[in-house]
Amino acid sequence: MILNKESKKWGIVGGGIMGMTLAHRLVKQGHTVTLFESASELGGLVSSWKMGDIEWDKFYHVILLSDFRTRNILEEIGLEDKIEWVETKTGFYMKGKLYSMSDTIEFLKFPTLNLLDKFRLGLTIIVASNIKNWKRLEKINVTTWLKRWSGSNTYNKIWLPLLRAKLGESYQKTSAVFIWATIQRLYGARRSGLKKEMFGFVPGGYKTVIESFKKKLISEKVFIKIAHAANEVKISDNNKPQISFTHGIVDETEEFDEVIVTLPSGIAAKLCTGLSIQEVAKLNDVEYLSVICVAVLLDKSISQFYVTNITDDWVPFTGVIEMSALVDKKYLGGNALVYLPKYLVANDPLFDWGDDEIKTYFTDNLKKMYPWLTDDDFKFVGVARAKHVITVAKLGYSEDLPDVKTSIPGVYIINTSHIKDGTLNVNETIRVAETKLDEILN
C-alpha cells in the first residue's frame, strides 16, 4: 500500500466495475472508501442471474487478450490464471444464409461483394488499425469515412446494416471514431501474441470475478453498502460533500472529503445538487443507447460462431452471440447459451414492451433463422434490459464532454461517457477509472 501524505474519506456512488476499481485504487493509496450500490449485489452491467439451474452474466461478456487492464485487476484478485482462452469464429447472416468469416479464405469466398469490394473492405480494416491520431476522425462522419475507404456497395451491404444494428439511427450523427475503435479492439486481440482471434472467460462468468473482487475490497477495508441507493449529493452545512441515501425504509446522510459519482451523466446531473446550468446542460447532452438482451438456454448449439453478425433487417436483434461457442458446456449445465441483443435509441417503444412480448418476438425470429429449432429445445428464455449503455460518439465528442471535476467542491463525475477513443467494455471502463483518478489525485 502506498500511503498518501493526506489520507482522505471518499464516498463512491455506483458499485459496478467503475466504482469497484476506483475503490480498489483509492484504498491502495491509503484512503478510506465507502462504496454505495443501490442493487442487492455489486456488479451493475456485469451482474449475473439464474437461468434455470445455472447462473451466468445477464449480458454477454468476453475478455480479449489485449484487455491488459482487466487482466491486471484479475491478477490482483487471483483470477488471471483461471482465464480460459478459446479460438473463436465469426459468422455473417445475410439474405437468409449463414456464412463463416473467420479467415482470409472465407473472406475471399464471401458472396455479394466482388473482388474489388473485398479488397476495399480489407483495406478499410488495415487503414483503421494503423491510424494513431483518432482525434481527426472525430471530425468526420462514420458514413463519409467508410464510403471513402470501402465504397458505396460495401458500405450499403455490410457497414450500414452493422452500424444500424449497433447504433440504431444514431449512426447518422456518429463520428468515424466509433468504427476506428471497434476495428482497433478486434485487431488488437489478433495482434496480442497470437494471430488467431482468442477470447477469454473466467469459469463461472463475471459472478466469479465480482465475488473475488468484493472479497478483495472487503480485505482492503472498503465499506461496501449494497442496497443503499444514493438520492442526493451536495455540500453539507459543514462545507463538505455529503451523500444522502436510502437503505430499506431508512434515509440517512454521510459526509465525506471527496465524492465520486459513477452513474450515467443525465442521472448524475439529477443526483448532484449545486451544479451550474452549463454543467447540467452538458451532462444532459450526453446521449445513451439502451439495450434489450434476450438470453436463451438451448439443449443444443445453433452454430459454431461466437458472434453472428446480421445484415437482414427483418431480424429484430443485432446479432446472435453464442456463449457456448466460447464457454465449455460443462460450465453451463450441459446447455447452449445464446444471447440476442438489440441496441435502441432513447425512447424506442420496444424498450417498454412486456417481457413475454419480447420473448415471443425474439424467439420466433430465432426459429426463422434456424428453422430446425423447435419449442422443445428452449429450456430458458429471459429478458435483460439496461437503459444507459453505449454513449453516442457524435462529431467532436471528446471536446463537448463534461469535466470530471464539477463546480461542487470535492464532487467528481466519472463514468463510461469518458471513453472517448474506445468501445464500451470492461477494459476501457477500468482505463477511465484509473486515468481519471490519477488526474484527480495529481
User: How many CB atoms are closer than 10 A to CB 144?
Assistant: 11
Q: Which is nearer to ligand FAD, 62 or 202 (CB)?
A: 62
Q: Say which amino acid occupies 305.
A: F
User: Residue 413 CB, nearest distance to ligand FAD (Å)?
Assistant: 12
Q: Which residues contact 434 (CB under 8 A, 6 or more apart)?
A: 21, 25, 69
Closest contact distance (angstroms) between CB of 25 and ligand FAD is 14
Strands 307-310 and 90-94, sheet pairing: parallel
Residue closer to ligand FAD by CB (options 19, 151) is 19
Nearest approach in angstroms of CB 153 to ligand FAD is 30
What is the three-class DSSP state of 231? Answer: strand
Set of cell numbers at residue 52: 434455470
Q: Which is nearer to ligand FAD, 113 or 320 (CB)?
A: 320
Give whichever of 23 and 27 is closer to ligand FAD, judged by the CB atom: 23
Q: Which is nearer to ligand FAD, 60 or 92 (CB)?
A: 60
Closest to 253 in 3D by CA, of 275, 222, 273, 228: 228
In angstroms, the CA 201 to CA 186 distance is 16
Q: Is 99 helix (H, G, I), strand (E, B) or coil?
A: strand
**Contact at 8 Å (CB) between 222 and 22?**
no
Residue type at 102? Answer: S
Nearer to ligand FAD, 117 or 287 (CB): 287
Query: What is d(CA 10, CA 317) in angstroms, rounded to the nearest whole number?
Result: 41
Q: Contact 201/327 with Cβ under 8 angstroms?
A: yes
Beta strands in 74-226 (DSSP E): 84-87, 90-94, 97-100, 198-201, 223-226
Nearer to ligand FAD, 121 or 366 (CB): 366
Instruction: Look at residue 279 and give its three-state secondary structure.
Output: helix
Contact 296, 288 (CB under 8 A): no
Phi, psi of 379 (to 5 degrees): -100, -25
Residue 253 C-beta: closest distance to ligand FAD, Å: 14
Q: What angle do CA 84, 88, 90 make, to 5 degrees?
A: 155
Q: Which is nearer to ligand FAD, 67 or 138 (CB)?
A: 67
User: Which ranges constitute the DSSP H helices of 29-114?
Assistant: 68-76, 104-109
The distance of closest approach from Cβ of residue 376 to ligand FAD in the complex, given in angstroms and rounded to an integer, is 28
> CB of residue 389 vs ligand FAD: minimum separation in angstroms?
5
* Shortest Å, Cβ 274 to ligand FAD: 17
Which of residues 366 and 426 has its CB atom nearest to ligand FAD in the complex? 426
Find residue 319's DSSP bridge partners.
Answer: 309
Shortest spacing between CB 56 and ligand FAD, in angstroms: 13
Place of cell 459519482: 261
Nearer to ligand FAD, 262 or 308 (CB): 262
Nearest distance, CB of residue 133 and ligand FAD, angstroms = 25
* Shortest spacing between CB 148 and ligand FAD, in angstroms: 29
Q: Which residues contact 41 (CB under 8 A, 6 or more apart)?
A: 47, 210, 226
Judged by the rule CB under 6 A, the positions of this chain that interact with ligand FAD are: 13-19, 36-39, 44-46, 59-62, 229-230, 262-263, 291, 293, 341, 386, 389, 415-416, 424-427, 429
On whether the CB atoms of residues 408 and 272 are closer than 8 A, the answer is: yes
